Amino acid sequence: MTQASLSLVRDAVHQNPVTSMPGLMERMFSLWFSGFVYNQIWEDPRVDLEAMQLTSESRVLTIASGGCNILHYLLGGAGEVCAVDLNRHHVALSRLKLAAARHLPDHETFFRFFGPTGGTGNLAAYERFIAPHLDADSRRYWAERSLPLGRPRIGIFAGKLYDRARMGQFLRLAALICRAFGKNPARILAAKTPAEREAAFQKELDPFFRNKLVRFMARYSVGVFSLGIPPQQFRALKRECPDGVIEEYRLRVKRLACDFPMDDNYFAWQAFARRYDTDGRQALPEYLKAENFERLKDAAGRARVHQASLDGFLAGQAEASLDRYVLLDSQDWMRGETLVRLWRAIRRTARPGARVIFRTAGALSPLEEALPGELARSFTRDDALSQALCAKDRSAIYGGFHLYRLAD
């Protein structure tokens, strides 16, 4: 990772002295998070779009992460999407997805790149159609070798993209642990009814959460670094979970397995099989569906990806220049003063009617405690819709979804 990128991550994560245990964990996480963490995003875009109500006039600011959300907001009708991320790897992947959408010749070529992945044809397609349209930093990134004798990074598209990145490696480890005692989470995907899904969860996954090694790892924040959960977020989750973090994880994975049909939930396919439904092509992100390809190709030029923090990007924006903000779960990382600075920047740049959405590891929004009265009164939380949309989120990994509107 470049020094600039590492500095951005450190600024976001380091909150305690290195001599303290929390400070040591924060520094371990910043090193871990400086790698390639997400190969897809884990926030349900269907929920985001219902909350944001995008129009052709909407100018959206979002964190990039794996880049899928950028493509979904474009398909949802956004006039412009500005994406930022601290992580160099996420920036490069997001720019690659946008360039691929614009310049690959047809849906099948695009689908092979980001659906099943694998095959040397992807590398040839990259060189011919994508690389000439990437910026110099992105071309350099994909040409770099992660290891001195390894292949260029773009080579991951000749293999299994969804086994890569920290998240993919974590899910692969979880599957190996399950297989070690004769369980296979992928069998859940064949369940057709709620009763079948419940039975499959109890047989194939519930024992995972009873495993002594898993329960031991779940006691420490380092055990979930690969999920992108920083120590601050882990501590907040522990405070809200009287039955323990491992029980909360079990309940959320059970919800992922049991509360949504498998033929529609691509998050479940990734969690339990580390792939999409590439045969039936039903449980897919909208951006990968054939019927959306031409619209995506036309819209992809309306997005830009920046390596920057949220408040760093907002500092360069004019007053009343944005009207949709997607903060993902980033505020779980933030100190109180950072939250205040961010929301002052949002208020300054927000157009009338602006909406802000974000998620939290626990159920509670941090804003009620963090924002001073005059700033808090500038925004109104839609409690009923926030709760309803949280229940609809097919990824099922967050405790809270929050929609705020700029007050009149």
Q: Residue 26: give the domain boundaries.
A: 3-33
- Identify the weakest region by mean pLDDT among 141-145, 281-285, 301-305, 334-338: 334-338
| In-domain check, residue 107 | no
- Contact by Cβ (8 Å): 93, 39: yes
pTM above 0.95, yes or no: no
With bands split at pLDDT 50, 70 and 90, how would you rate the model's confidence at 1?
very low
How many domains, the chain?
2
Residue 229 lies in a domain: yes
**pLDDT tens digits, one per residue of 331-362:** 987 888 889 999 999 999 999 999 999 999 88
pLDDT of residue 29: 64
pLDDT tens-digit readout, 42-62:
999 999 999 999 999 999 999
Q: How far apart, in Å, are the Cα atoms of 19 and each of 7, 224, 382? A: 19, 22, 41
Most confident of 181-185, 209-213, 303-307, 335-339: 303-307
Is 327 part of any domain? no
Whole-angstrom distance, CA of residue 370 vs CA of residue 273: 39
Which of 240, 273, 306 finishes a domain?
Answer: 273
For the stretch 75-113, pLDDT in tens is 999 999 999 999 999 999 999 999 999 999 999 999 999
Beta strands 350-360 and 400-406 are: antiparallel
Q: How far apart are the C-alpha atoms of 38 and 92, rounded to whole Å?
A: 12
Which one of 273, 303, 323 terminates a domain? Answer: 273
Q: State the pLDDT confidence band at 115, using cuts at 50, 70 and 90.
A: very high
Show the tokens assigned to 377. Answer: 């009164």
- The answer to whether residue 333 is domain-embedded is no
The answer to whether position 60 is within a domain reads no
Query: Could you tell me the end-to-end alpha-carbon distance of the chain, in angstroms, rounded to an integer?
Result: 43
Q: 25 and 231 in contact (C-beta within 8 Å)?
A: yes
Looking at the chain, the whole-number percentage of residues with pLDDT higher than 70 is 88
Quick check: is 262 in a domain? Answer: yes
Single-letter code of the amino acid located at 200: A
Give a yes or no: residue 188 inside a domain: yes
The one-letter code for the residue type at 316 is G
Q: Choose the final residue of a domain: 254, 273, 292.
A: 273
- Asked if the model's pLDDT at residue 134 lies above 70, the reply is yes
In a domain, 178, yes or no: yes
Write the pLDDT tens digit of every residue in 248-260. Answer: 889 999 999 999 9
Give the model's pLDDT for residue 335: 82
